[in-house]
Chain A
Amino acid sequence: MDPLGWFEILGRMAWQFMPVWIALIVTFTLSIAFKRKLGLYGKLFDSRIGMVGFFIVAFWLFTAFFADYIITHNPLSQGRGMRNAAPGTPMARLAEGMYEYYLLGGDTRARDVFSRAVMGAREVLTIAPFAAMISFMIGISLGLPAGYIGGRLDTGLTFVANLVLAFPVILLFFLLVAPEIQDTAIPVSMAGVLFLVPVLFFMVLVNSRFHTQPWKRNLYVGLVLAFGLWAYSGLAFNADPLGFWGMSPNLLNVFVAVVFVNAPTVFRIVRGITLDIKTRDYVAAAQTRGEGPWYIMMWEILPNARGPLIVDFCLRIGYTTILLGTLGFFGLGVSPESPDWGSTINDGRSVLRSHPHLALVPALSLMSLVLGLNLLADGLREESLKD
């Protein structure tokens, strides 16, 4: 068989992505049809930049979701004679039912670059949004009281946040994400503290709203606690009795490091916004009504701070993706088999000048995802400012 030309490669790739296209078409038709009823999300479809950003992000989201149907080969299996194969090379040895080509070539261990890049999307998109979310909850839970109550609490928290921010990120990664650290209690105890915060966050959120109706409060707080502690036991200590939640020590280590780096920045943003909002009239009105401080923080200040926070959340997912890539690039905290984009770039680095496709495919994938997130954030910012 002859190797494929570029048009054929693109055509076959587009065909492989068929489930993604269908999902995208459905999403866009529905969203545009009902955009007036969808709030901020619907307004996104009024701005061209926001739509492009949303398209790219949704593309990668659906790719991660349908990855099993898109890949042409197992991302870990090695094809005989396909080492560093050029894009579009037919398989040297074709087994029954196997896809005939390596669409984007083979890597240094003769694995399919295309399938690895697609699977890499799943790796990245399972960690990055989740890590950004935990960072946000920590930043919010600490930033609200620091800004609202102020005083010594604020001084102390700000000092700690600045301490972490003064640490060069890369140095922190070198120190925190190492196989030796995984054997110590450091990642687990850090996770124990960091993952507890979201549980507390939701508890306080519910409690401050319903504390005047005890039976409702007890029900909701109980539900939050039951679900939160279930997830907490699995994620932080890998001790989930049902085995639903869980993270490998490798992943936990990476996760903790990324959250630790991101949370102080969120803290600073939330603190700044809180300082601004707490002088507003509706906060004074709530104080006069006799609402408790947590109610004011969680139900008066936080909803009014949502605009900048949503925008920053998009940016933060992008930044987390970059951080994860940096970790992979230095070979930190990932197994050598892992198809995530950072370590694939690192693998391809040695043969960059003779076989650039190895590193270029994951590099461009990563860039497009982050670009999509940034464009989406820009569109959201523009639309939320119009209100």
Chain B
Amino acid sequence: MLLFLLRRIGVMLLTALCLTFVVFYLTNLPAKLETLAKTQAGSRISDAEVQSWLARNGYDAPMLARYGEWLGVLPGWTREAEDGTLTGRCMRDVEDPAMAPARCGIFQGYLGQSTRFRAPVSEVIGARLGATGWLMLWVVIVMVPMALIVGVLAGMREGSRTDRSLSTFAIASTATPEYVSGVVFIALLASTTVGLSPLLSSWGWLPENTALFQGNARSALDQITFWNFTLPVMTIALYGMGYVARITRASMTEVMTQQYIRTARLKGVSFPNIVMRHALRNALIAPFTVIMLQIPWLLNGVVVVEVLFSYPGFGWVLFEAAVNNDIELLLAASMVAVVVVLLTQLISDVGYVFLNPRIRIS
């Protein structure tokens, strides 16, 4: 087990290294650097000014060298201006340039400076990850039980009417990407002029000119309420739910045909008891791994939803960083995303071994 874990972690680190290099390469193409210079120093600057801006900010070194700087294996760039002031990669946050460390990169725990938010990347990411953490927490709280219930109910009696209708619902939910369901939800539930809210106000159930739900989740940063968080959470949960439900259903139908279920039935155990005590535990092994693997897929939805509902979380930061080619922020964000992906893969593998007695004991 330990050797397995060590090997997995080794592969993880190698993957992270490769992926960050790809991100680094793609964000540091000359054309992208030019765009960055123009967004930072004004859009109408000449080519010579672009070159001098890039040189002033340490973007003129070869790409591999700068990747080494970002990793922290090579000393950060330094530059002495004509008036003798020292600037450098590692001298942004320290008082005295002479005291600055030679290397500063992710190995030293320094993620760099965001050009879009003009703040250290670690601060930006830290604050935004927290916001997304709340969103994801609620998504998981809503999505997982709903998916499992739908899947178990559908798979318990294969081919029944419940099964047909719940399966169709699951298929429909996987066919509704976030930008569709989000748009439909906002139009139906969060508009004062169309959809459900004017109807409710005309019945006197809602005050005039108010929407049932809020289509903008920014206020959830201060306080999460039912009215500002339902729509974003439902939008993400709905798309992810269908897939998990279908896996649960498949796993449940398979378990229900097993010999031990037939034995239990012949023994005279009641149907609810069979489902709860004999089938459920074995049927939930496969969905567990799928749920874990589904979490990184939710990132897509998080970006869409946070942009759609203007909720400034991690996905929103990723969008802003990409649009403004904020290199160091984008690198840090992709690192976080990759670590989440690889960690959930690891947990799902380890969890599978622990949950499945056939593998655990052998």
Contact = CB atoms under 8 A, between A and B. Distances in A.
Given A326-B304, A356-B187, A168 B175 contact: no
B29 A174 contact: no
B350 interface: no
A170 interface: yes
Given A163-B18, A170-B299, A378-B171, A353 B177 contact: no
A170 B32 contact: no
Contacts of A124: none
Interface in B292-328: 296, 299-300, 303-304, 307-308, 318-319, 322-323
A352 B300 contact: no
Nearest to A322: B177
A370 interface: yes
A167 B340 CA distance: 11
Interface string B333-357: 1100110011001000000000000
Contacts of B35: 180
B63 interface: no
B32 A180 contact: yes
A356 B195 contact: yes
Given A181-B29, A359-B187, A360-B184, A175 B179 contact: no
A171 B183 contact: no
Contacts of B345: 166
Given A180-B35, A352-B191, A356-B195, A171 B318 contact: yes
Given A166-B19, A180-B32, A184-B31, A171 B179 contact: no
Interface in A335-387: 342, 345, 348-349, 352-354, 356, 359-360, 363-364, 366-367, 370-371, 373-375, 378
A353 to B, nearest CB: 4
B15 A168 contact: no
B235 to A, nearest CB: 12
B183 A359 contact: yes
A363 B342 contact: no
A374 B319 CA distance: 29
A311 to B, nearest CB: 13
A329 interface: yes
B232 interface: no
A326 B182 CA distance: 13
B180 interface: yes
Contacts of B167: 378
Interface in A153-190: 159, 162-163, 166-171, 174-176, 178, 180-181, 183-184, 186
A325 B300 contact: no
B29 A356 contact: no
Contacts of A168: 296, 299-300, 334, 337-338, 341
A378 B345 CA distance: 27
A175 B175 contact: no
Interface string A129-166: 00000000000000000000000000000010011001
B234 to A, nearest CB: 16
B168 interface: yes
B333 to A, nearest CB: 8
Nearest to B340: A168
Contacts of A181: 26, 29, 31
Interface in A299-338: 318, 322, 325-326, 329-330
A174 B187 contact: no
A112 B303 CA distance: 30
Candidate in A168, A174, A342, A378 with the most chain B CB atoms within 10 angstroms: A168
B87 interface: no
Contacts of A322: 177
A194 interface: no
Interface in B147-196: 167-168, 171-172, 174-177, 179-180, 183-184, 186-187, 190-195
Contact of B179 (A169, A176, A342): A342
Contact of A184 (B29, B190, B304): B29
B27 interface: yes
A185 B39 CA distance: 24
A44 interface: no
Contacts of B193: 353-354
A159 B171 CA distance: 31
Candidate in A167, A184, A366, A370 with the most chain B CB atoms within 10 angstroms: A167
22 contacts: A162-B15, A166-B19, A169-B300, A170-B318, A171-B333, A171-B337, A174-B319, A174-B322, A174-B323, A175-B23, A180-B32, A345-B183, A348-B183, A352-B183, A352-B186, A353-B186, A353-B187, A356-B183, A360-B187, A363-B180, A366-B177, A374-B174
- 7 tightest CB-CB pairs across the interface, nearest first? A174-B322, A356-B187, A180-B31, A371-B175, A353-B191, A370-B175, A175-B26
Interface of B: 11, 15, 18-19, 22-23, 26-27, 29, 31-32, 34-35, 167-168, 171-172, 174-177, 179-180, 183-184, 186-187, 190-195, 211, 215, 296, 299-300, 303-304, 307-308, 318-319, 322-323, 330, 333-334, 337-338, 341-342, 345
